[in-house]
């Protein structure tokens, strides 16, 4: 999407952080951002800020975890303009503590926001984006923890793994369309995710060691990369049609070590007489021409 002028961009988590800064960077390129956020007043205030900077922007309230809420947001967005850029970015932390102690309500909520919402977003906009007959772009926010999982929240890590899987599967599915796709995998970013998670999470607040972990993470993230820098990088990726969007190169050695361990684990076949999987047949059986990976280019 080299020319973003007058293209309507729907951005979730748009009232602050990476969402707002990506919307701002898209607006600088001529796009018309719709800032969707669970805090509707903050979304409208952010949109007013962008309008003061010369952008044509709209703010609206949206709980990305509630599919029914998407119908209303989709109708409002369509009245503003045909969405050709969809940035499914909203996310929350998943709580702390040992896996076996997780509150199942919090677990389901983390997945609803961090993973299920991408389905709701695409059910709302992707069909029309495909049918538009012109270049469009879908972007989702995963995390470096989907590549290199640190010893933090299992709910957060696994839901971000799910997001990466969604993006990789959609990359194949969209290969023969005019809809590009990007997956953002940032490292530590100076956003309000810890405070937002504490405010919105269902059930009781975290206590004891879990509460201390949340406080510690808030301090760590405060010194993270500026969302403005990440937003600008994301806008460039959308414009250039990049798939993987990495913003924190200091994670690369850990990613290399992790993939080296994985590749080293490939050995002899469990059945030496087996002819091997028919990868081409697998692709063809699903109505595709190829798998969108470097080995097939």
Q: HSE (CB half, 13 Å, CA atoms) of 169?
A: 9
Distances (CA, A) of 82 to 17, 22, 34, 190: 25, 19, 11, 32
pLDDT of residue 296: 45
> What does the alpha-carbon distance between residue 263 and residue 255 come to, in Å, rounded to a whole number?
12
Which residues lie below 8 Å from residue 195, measured CB to CB, with a gap of 6+? 218
So what's the pLDDT on residue 287?
A: 80
When pLDDT is averaged across residues 200-206 and rounded to a whole number, the result is 66
Residue 156: active-site member = yes
Q: What percent of the chain has pLDDT over 90?
A: 75
For 132-186, the pLDDT digits (tens) are: 999 999 999 999 999 999 887 899 999 999 999 999 999 999 999 999 999 999 9
Model confidence at 237, pLDDT cuts 50, 70, 90, reads: very high
* Rounded Cα distance, 190 and 220, in Å: 9
* The pLDDT of residue 223: 66
Could you read off the pLDDT of 48-104 as tens digits, one per residue? Answer: 999 999 999 999 999 999 999 999 999 999 999 999 999 999 999 877 778 898 889
Among candidates 127, 161, 122, which has minimal Cα distance to 144? 161
Rg from Cα positions in the chain = 20
Distance CA 85, CA 27 (A): 12
Q: What is the dihedral of CA 113, 117, 118, 121, to 10 degrees?
A: -140
């Amino acid at each position: 999407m080299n020319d973003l002028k007058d293209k309507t961009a729907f951005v979730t988590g748009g009232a602050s952080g990476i969402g707002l800064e990506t919307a701002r960077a898209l607006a600088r390129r001529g796009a018309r951002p719709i800032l969707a956020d669970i805090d509707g007043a903050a979304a409208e205030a952010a949109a007013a800020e962008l309008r003061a900077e010369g952008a044509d922007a709209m703010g609206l309230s949206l709980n990305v975890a509630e599919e029914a809420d998407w119908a209303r947001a989709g109708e409002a967005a369509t009245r503003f303009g045909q969405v050709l850029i969809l940035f499914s970015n909203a996310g929350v932390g998943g709580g702390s503590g040992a896996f076996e102690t997780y509150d199942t309500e919090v677990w389901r909520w983390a997945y609803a926001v961090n993973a299920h919402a991408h389905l709701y977003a695409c059910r709302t906009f992707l069909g029309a984006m495909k049918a538009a007959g012109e270049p469009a772009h879908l972007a989702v926010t995963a995390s470096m923890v989907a590549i290199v999982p640190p010893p933090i929240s299992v709910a957060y890590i696994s839901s971000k793994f799910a997001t990466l899987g969604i993006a990789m599967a959609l990359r194949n599915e969209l290969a023969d369309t005019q809809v590009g796709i990007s997956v953002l995998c940032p490292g530590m970013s100076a956003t309000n995710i810890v405070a937002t998670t504490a405010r919105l999470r269902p059930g009781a607040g975290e206590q004891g060691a879990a509460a201390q972990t949340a406080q510690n993470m808030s301090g760590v993230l405060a010194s993270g990369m500026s969302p403005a820098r990440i937003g600008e990088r994301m806008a460039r990726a959308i414009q250039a049609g990049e798939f993987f969007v990495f913003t924190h190169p200091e994670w690369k050695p850990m990613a290399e070590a992790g993939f080296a361990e994985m590749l080293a684990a490939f050995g002899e076949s469990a059945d030496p007489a087996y002819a091997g999987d028919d990868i081409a047949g697998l692709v063809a059986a699903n109505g595709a021409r190829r798998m969108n990976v470097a080995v097939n280019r």
